[in-house]
Structure 1
């Protein structure tokens, strides 16, 4: 009984000792990624189209010189769209077998899901009920929306110094990315393999889908490289790391991960010098003399360092006392500037009322102009942030690193006694509410701009929730916290302030509710429950406000309760188009109605019934994606009895004119009733 296992081990040892590398062995891969937002029924038209796709893609991919194929079976709304990409060194039979096996994996792991992505060692497969290749269009391509699947062998560790190993991995991946993205052949087969003469040897592989442009391929791979070489995934010197997205993949391993000879032969980086050298054996007197000399040298160096430190500190204080000028300091990789208070006082004319841009739940904002002419916006927080200056510095370093085109750029901060001030880039067009709800400005936004604002806000939230270095829940999304730049591109302001101010929140609840009634999710307003879904609710209110050009927080018409109630009334009566601007053409009207549909899905009373922000982005950009019918939104009540308790078993929350919650009714059995979906 033991002979078989011992024989297997012996054979494996012999193979390892052979000079030629073994063929690429199948590695573990991430589990299939199931998109459960849409499903199909057994024996449906979509399943028939999916069967056609499963029959066509393996053959098409294996017949392609680049091992790549796309196919669409059937017609919308039951169209099945697919993509298959085989590893660049896979032969035709391996490619076809891998894609066919990937279809079987998808059916087993994600039964009846319309969208699935499968990563296998020799291929990647994606199919969906919506078009996804349009993501490659220049106006749609956004690397920050690519969330990679990472597979790390963290159970083992390479026997080398951290610095040397990190340099070897970084050098290998950099060379592979440059080689793969430089493909100039007609098939655009973006594929590269490499072998570094490290100890042990490092094998690497990089690949992109041929439909990408060279710039897109390089950007996609650089994004994966940044993740793979980050401290999170390279810590502990793992012997293998693999990063996958549909459009590209990047891997390294101490074992071969491709067939044949490497395309690149790389020399190992020089080994860093050891931190200390050993003294050769000698007589006791020499060792004693050397020890005394080393001690004296260390003492002298330490004293010099201390003298330089105190001299610089003393000089800085003298200069500040004589001139009242403090040099600005840069903190962290994001170059977050620490401003002194006199600089900001001078820039804002001592925070004069004429420079006041607005006020909110976190503080007051002033316009300022620095001595070099740069325009800034300075927010004076209402209370001191965090628990100590060191914590404030750390928080600001992290927040300053959050860079996205739909976030207002945080440039620095000032902490002076009990005052904390944040310095942002100045956005000339001001906040969305001033343009959207100001009748004196007329129809300042056309529909294309309104739609781009909705889409841009969604992408900013997606970055905060899923793509940034830390998850940020905004907690105060509203029209006055959305700023518009010169091109009417939206920028989310005040992100991270709830975290920065230390609002006492634990894992899921907060001891103090901050935000604006009218945008607050019911579970947050009532019990302080914090999750990404409270931002989804606020975003839903924003969508309805942008489409209808009406505020949910106030109204001059006292017969109107709130915007959510009016929208739902029109929705159930199939008259919601009456809330749209009459100037919209047929296409814009269809798009606006879809946005209202998405907005209603976002303001559902129960958090679990609201979509994630990634699903919202897909809903906004993929018109073929089928939307679920919405049910009655939160904060809805009939006009005849605004404060009447609900009899249908749903939770009922009511806002009054002052902006506070008047009532919450909770039924015993929590039964909900469905509303008919207007067609």
Structure 2
């Protein structure tokens, strides 16, 4: 991940024991490289020499600094935990610089999250993002990890305790009124086990920004872990601007600033009062009464059973073959019956068919109340148990984002499952992208690229469960009335495949031309396969050309053509009548797209970094290297003997071609950054 909003809003790490002050929790690299022994490195060395002492001398343990001038200016921020002493603060910042340069050599932008301090340096002026017109708290994206366990209290009581301590900590931290504006608070709650908490913001934030930053971390923690099982006993969430933590053992120095009482326990369940012992005669009368009552009850129950048996015999027989999912509770999504969907789609008639993909066929339907829906019939069976399938659908239905198609429910029927989505009137992106009669202007194209990236970011990092789409392509991107993109079919690979939590799969699902080589060839699953697909989509949207439309094996595909123009400095030839700012923006999108389709997954940026690069024109992008190529069956004659590998695509198979290369000319057509 990278600087500023996305790179800074990155990560946390958890343990079950207090951490030593110098323990590094997370290091995030931007991927933008500087020249060894050059001006930027000299400026960075000056910062590394000055910041530890300056941070330790600051009353708030906070320092920012800039050295040099653009494009070699180095900018840095260091924030020590509010309870660390001067020597511990200086040691932590100095160690963070060393860790950063060891983990990310020659990287212009690095964020280091340690237990006792946070360090961020970059070649861009990331502190400018605190300006009122730049600050967007909703785009702070922490990645939360936790340690789980059990407690002596009910889950609801523990969640209430964590919520109470977080609320008190945020209020206390934001209330800083001293001149140093040291937004820092620690708390201890008398609970079983005891709860400890900490909240902190960088002093450069306004009180409202601090409140928003901590509130965002609170919402993410609450969404992901305070409403899930098993319970999270320790959570530590960091972004550069703020941090929020709780745990069942202390992780800060000294006495807590807040001493809190536990919230009231849930009301105990009603108990039955034992009867008062009776005398001997009373016991006999009671026994006789009980015997008579039991006898009458047995006779009555027998008669009722006979009547019910005859009355409902036909109904029971008629429902013997019903799918057992019908007996599962409705939960958070609707369970539709098959006749309702048959009537809505006119028995899945061809004229209501909207499209067909790797997971099944989609039909338009109109419910009896007039609501328009889209019904997807899944191909094959799921392999999951009934309750597991129901749980998966419920989780998918809970995902809400403006760039995702909303899943409204499902219909179980024998061995088939039908999913019910909201209906998107404009249909899929490919209908507009590759049809000259239904053109898009550049503003719409750019907003579609950015919206797709934000939707993927939600699936990868913001949702209650991490989802890797695996089949991102133009006809899985729908456009609403405002031409806002909505990702469809999210979570279907997860829903349909057993063992979806594994890092490798035996069943590859997706579309050739959009599939990352490591996934298509070896079944390796990671978020970077979606980044690759996004890169292909971005290049398709900018150039208005499809990467998999041609069956002519003598013609190179889009990735090859883009790279050829890029290396020759003629990339503008692939743009459609753009000039000025729109042209520069389009060139930047091509640059980002090429970074996303690199052969090595490790060289592709995280999707959070992609969103940041798209929204910050001032950020310098590293040069792309040769992407994963997909040609026809005949490889091009050019080759060299450096052992470089490249992937070739022939519409039916993947071939690993050794010693393939292109002319190593650098880009000669610069554009403003």
Q: TM bucket by the smaller chain?
A: 0.7 to 0.9
The residue aligned with 2:376 is 379
Contact 1:61 1:96 in 2 (8 A): no
User: Which whole-Å CA distance do the structure 2 matches of 1:56 and 1:612 have between them?
Assistant: 31
CA contact (8 A) 1:99 1:124 kept: no
C-alpha separation between the residues in 2 aligned to 1:613 and 1:36? 12
**Offset at residue 547 of structure 1 (A):** 0.8
Distance 1:213 1:34, change over 3 A: closer
Query: Aligned partners of 1:142 and 1:411: how far apart in 2?
Result: 29
Q: Name the structure 2 match of 1:107.
A: 98
Structure 1 residues without counterparts, runs of 5 or longer:
1-23
Look up the match of 1:4. Answer: none
Aligned to 2:76: 82
Partners of 2:100 and 2:229 in 1: CA distance:
28
Partners in 2 of 1:492 and 1:428 — Cα distance?
14
The 2-side partners of 1:558 and 1:665 are apart by 17
> Once the 2 structures are TM-superposed, how far is the Cα of residue 279 of structure 1 from its aligned partner?
10
Q: How many residue pairs align between the two structures?
A: 615
Alignment of 1:173 with 2:166, yes or no, is yes
Q: Is the 8 A contact 2:404 2:487 kept in 1?
A: yes
1:513 Cα deviation from its structure 2 partner:
3.6
Residues 426 and 57 of structure 1, relative CA distance in 2, 3 Å threshold = farther
SS at the partner of 1:37? coil
Alpha-carbon offset, residue 102 of structure 1: 1.4
Name which structure has the greater RCO, CA cutoff 8 Å, separation 6+: 2
Q: Which residue is equivalent to 1:362?
A: 359
Q: Are the structure 2 counterparts of residues 577 and 276 from structure 1 closer, same or farther at C-alpha, using a change threshold of 3 Å?
A: same
Structure-2 separation of matches of 1:168 and 1:503: 37
Q: Deviations for 1:634-676, whole angstroms, at most 9, x for unmatched residues?
A: 11469xx6687977655565555xx434x73544xx6867723
- The residue that corresponds to 1:207 in the other structure is 200
Structure 2 equivalent of residue 491 of structure 1: 486
Give the CA deviation at 1:64: 6.8
**Partner residue of 1:432 out of 429, 432, 437:** 429
Asked whether the equivalents of residues 140 and 216 of structure 2 are also in contact (C-alpha less than 8 Å), the reply is no
Could you tell me whether the CA contact under 8 Å between 2:186 and 2:198 is conserved in 1?
yes
Change (3 A) 1:152 1:507: closer
Structure 2 residue 391 is the aligned partner of structure 1 residue 400:
no
- Find the counterpart in structure 1 of residue 444 from structure 2: 449
Q: Which moved more, 1:392-401 or 1:111-120?
A: 111-120
Deviation at 1:165, TM superposition (A): 4.3
2:344 aligned residue (320, 343, 347):
347
Offset of residue 570 of structure 1: 1.5
Q: Does 1:44 align with 2:64?
A: no
What is the rounded CA distance, in whole Å, between the counterparts of 2:478 and 2:177 in structure 1? 43
Q: 2:512 maps to which residue?
A: 517
Q: Say if 2:528 is the partner of 1:536.
A: no
Aligned counterpart, 1:570: 565
TM-superposition CA deviations, 1:340-371 (whole Å, max 9, x none): 12222333333333433222222222223334
Question: Does structure 1 conserve the Cα–Cα contact (< 8 Å) formed by 2:630 and 2:647?
Answer: yes
Distance 1:176 1:417, change over 3 A: same
Distance in structure 1 (CA, Å) of the matches to 2:554 and 2:137: 44
Deviation at 1:551, TM superposition (A): 1.2
2: distance between equivalents of 1:411 and 1:153? Answer: 31
RMSD: 4.6
Bigger shift: residues 454-463 or 347-356: 347-356
Kept after mapping to 2: 8 A contact 1:58/1:97: no
Deviations 1:510-538 (A, max 9, x none): 44443222223334444544443332332
Which moved further from structure 2: 260-269 or 627-636? 260-269
Moved more, 124-133 or 258-267: 258-267
Aligned to 1:244: 238
- Of 64-73 and 452-461, more deviation after overlay is shown by 64-73
Aligned counterpart, 1:627: 622
SS at match of 1:591: helix
Alignment check: 8 A CA contact 1:34 1:110 kept: no
Task: Label 1:167 to 1:533 Cα distance change in 2 as closer, same or farther (>3 A).
Answer: closer
What CA deviation, in whole Å up to 9, does each residue of 1:448-484 have, x standing for no partner?
3322222222232233334444433322111111112
Indicate yes or no: 2:652 matched with 1:660: yes
User: Is 1:390 equivalent to 2:408 in the alignment?
Assistant: no
Q: 1:140 to 1:354 in 2, by over 3 A?
A: farther
Measured in 2, the distance between the counterparts of 1:255 and 1:476 equals 43
User: What corresponds to 1:546 in structure 2?
Assistant: 541
TM-score by length of 2: 0.77
- Asked if the contact 1:474/1:498 (under 8 Å) is kept, the reply is yes
Q: Quick one: structure 1 residues 579 and 268, their matched pair in 2 at CA, closer, same or farther if it must change by over 3 Å?
A: same
State how 1:135-284 maps to structure 2 within 5 Å: 141=136, 143=138, 146-148=141-143, 164-181=157-174, 190-198=183-191, 201-209=194-202, 210-211=205-206, 212=209, 214-226=211-223, 229=226, 231=228, 234-235=231-232, 238=233, 241-253=235-247, 264-272=258-266
Over 3 Å counting, the alpha-carbon distance change for 1:144 and 1:367 in structure 2 is farther
Alignment of 1:415-426 (within 5 A): 415-426=412-423
Q: Which moved more, 1:542-551 or 1:224-233?
A: 224-233
Counterpart CA distance in 2 for 1:631 and 1:51 is 32
For residues 124-153 of structure 1, give each alpha carbon's deviation from its aligned partner in whole angstroms, at most 9, with x where no partner exists.
322223343465577773647522465759
Secondary structure of 2:410's aligned partner:
strand
CA distance, structure 2, for counterparts of residue 665 and residue 226 of structure 1 = 43
Higher alpha-carbon deviation: 384-393 or 197-206: 197-206
Any idea what SS the aligned residue of 2:395 has? helix
Contact 2:532 2:596 in 1 (8 A): yes
- Deviations along 1:618-648, one digit per CA (max 9) or x if unpaired, are 443444233133215411469xx66879776
Query: Of residues 333, 338, 342 in structure 2, which corresponds to 1:336?
Result: 333
SS at match of 2:548: coil
Alpha-carbon spacing, 1:651–1:86, altered in 2? closer, same or farther (3 Å): closer
Deviation of 1:62 (Å): 6.6
- Normalised by the size of structure 1, how large is the TM-score? 0.76
Distance, in Å, in 1 between the alignment partners of 2:407 and 2:528 is 25
